[in-house]
Amino acid sequence: MFDTISPAPPDAILGLTEAFKKDPNPRKTNLAVGVYKDAGGATPVLESVKEAERRLLTGEKTKSYLPIDGSPEYDAASQRLVFGDSHEIVTSGRAVTAQAPGGTGALRVAADFVGQISPGATVWISDPTWPNHPSVFQSAGLKVATYPYFDPASNGVDFDAMLATLASIPAGDVLLLHGCCHNPTGVDLSTSQWQAVAKIAAERGLLPLLDFAYQGFADGLDEDAAGVRIVAEHCPELFVASSYSKNFGLYNERTGALTLVARTPEAAESALSHVKRCIRANYSNPPAHGGEIVRTILGDPELRRRWEGEVTAMRERINTMRHLFVETLNEKGVTRDFSFIARQRGMFSFSGLTPAQVKALRERHGVYIVGSGRISVAGMTEGNMEYLCEAIADVLKD
Ligand code: LMR
């Protein structure tokens, strides 16, 4: 059977890391994958995480299985991080949370759940979006369609077109929204736009699924949850897929959570029983270590304060890099206006470079960015900025 299989195309993001590793260019720079680098170019383990791990190493008593839906303390802490401690959704019990292997794992569990409860549903994703979104939903047997989102002319949201499409989506379909730091564009909805989207979703009976992978990377942990909370005000049912890869730096620990909000606690519990069946059939129960780290940090006021400081430092460094990037491009003689990059939020900058320019960057300079023109600002440093901007200036001449 295997002799007849032709190779699948490489992954649009992680496939570039594979190619990067093989590239002999000594100046090669990987700005494809969304992984935070500090000023020295390292992806550090956060100090709060190290301290939590020290405590876990001495305090851990067993490696026995977690429940199918994970640690109850972790699940509760995840819910509070999304909605705030005293939010009605948290206190009423009409939300349930299942620990999941990363944000992608959470999305896939949501997709499996929708595929079983509502097999005809289509998932509506933004154009553009994270390249893995369609695969996650299609792998669960769901159909995928797009709504307009990014307007290259203004480098903002094409909001009228977005609303017009949303107003035509049939009831019961899933509306995937990026909670903050839209990936790949870095362009988020304003408060009034969130309100309009939430209102339409509620009026049309759509099921919002918030992909929430960058909480803390735009303006702050609470500030970045504003969109999710607005949707929750209007829509009685929704999903939130949280990821702790970026804000806790727990990339390889695969640490995330799926929160399901229902109209009543009874409906939420009933839905959770189906979520658990999806999990059991997929990976049985979640890995524990990353979740234990998050639970330990969020449950200890001092550790939490340290972690919040570290999230702030990462966010501020990225924003400094955004400004330095725009300035350095100017210094290198680039006349095109890239000032919009300083206004984008989160780990990525949507550069507007063409696929041919992206290819030239890689082949001529060993600079790896995603085919859509997405550059990881989180991977820029003062050390690689000059080289990066010279390379971009060069390919812009083509
Ligand atoms: C990214 O968009 O680069 C990250 O979310 C990593 C990934 O899994 O694609």
DSSP letter string over 27-93? T-EE-SS-----TTS--PPPHHHHHHHHHHHHH----PPPPTT--HHHHHHHHHHHH-TT-HHHHHT
The residue to mutate among 11, 13, 247, having the most atoms of ligand 1 within 8 angstroms of its beta carbon, is: 13
Residues having CB closer than 6 A to ligand 1 are 13, 33-34, 130, 132, 183
Assign 280 to helix, strand or coil: helix
The residue to mutate among 11, 132, 133, 135, having the most atoms of ligand 1 within 8 angstroms of its beta carbon, is: 132
Q: Which pLDDT does position 251 carry in this prediction?
A: 98
Q: Which pLDDT does position 11 carry in this prediction?
A: 94
Q: Which atom of ligand 1 is nearest to the CA of 245?
A: 5
Provide the sign of the torsion angle of the four alpha carbons 243, 246, 252, 253, taken in this order.
negative
* Average pLDDT per 10 consecutive residues for the chain, totaling 398 residues: 94 94 95 96 97 97 97 98 97 97 98 96 98 98 98 96 98 98 97 98 98 98 98 98 98 98 98 98 98 98 98 98 97 95 94 96 97 96 97 95
Which residue shows structure tokens 């050390």?
383
Q: Which domains, and CATH codes, for the chain?
A: 11-45+314-396 (3.90.1150.10), 65-299 (3.40.640.10)
User: Minimal CA–CA distance to 244: which of 160, 200, 310, 185?
Assistant: 310
Q: Which pLDDT does position 398 carry in this prediction?
A: 83
Q: Which pLDDT does position 112 carry in this prediction?
A: 98
Distance, CA 127 to ligand 1 centroid (Å)?
A: 17
Distance CA 275, CA 200 (A): 26
Distance CA 52, CA 312 (A): 19
Catalytic positions:
130, 211, 246
Distance, CA 26 to ligand 1 centroid (Å)?
A: 24
Distance, CA 104 to ligand 1 centroid (Å)?
A: 9
Note the pTM of the prediction, 2 decimals: 0.97
Distance, CA 313 to ligand 1 centroid (Å)?
A: 21
Measuring from atom 1 of ligand 1, which residue has the nearest CA?
34
Distance CA 56, CA 293 (A): 8
